[in-house]
Homo-oligomer: A and B are copies of this chain.
Amino acid sequence: MRIARKPGRPLSFDRNIALDQAMRLFWQSGYEGTSLGALTKAMGVTAPSIYAAFGDKKQLFLEAVSRYVSGPVTAQTLIDDAPDAHAAATALLRTSAIGFTGASTPRGCLLATSTISCSPAAADVQRQLAVIRKKIEARIKEKIADDVRKGVLPSGVDADALAGFVMATIQGLSTLARDGARREKILRVAEAAMAAWPHR
Contacts and interface: CB of A to CB of B under 8 A. Distances in A.
B178 A164 contact: no
A175 B185 contact: no
A186 B171 CA distance: 14
Given A169-B172, A172-B168, A191-B161, A130 B185 contact: no
A75 to B, nearest CB: 15
Contacts of A173: 168
Tell me the interface secondary structure of chain A in the complex.
Answer: helix
A17 interface: no
Best-surrounded residue of A35, A160, A165, A185 (most CB of chain B within 10 A): A165
B130 A178 contact: yes
Interface in A150-200: 158, 160-162, 164-165, 167-176, 178-181, 185-186, 188-189, 191-198
Given A117-B29, A117-B30, A195-B196, A170 B167 contact: no
Copy tally for this chain in the complex stands at: 2
A118 interface: yes
A72 B174 CA distance: 29
Contacts of A192: 158, 161-162, 164-165, 196
A87 interface: no
A189 B172 contact: no
Interface in A104-132: 108, 112-120, 122, 130
A84 interface: no
B172 A30 contact: no
Given A196-B196, A198-B195, A118 B30 contact: yes
Contact of A178 (B108, B116, B165, B197): B116
Contacts of A194: 196
A133 B176 CA distance: 9
Contacts of A197: 195
Given A161-B188, A169-B168, A117 B113 contact: yes
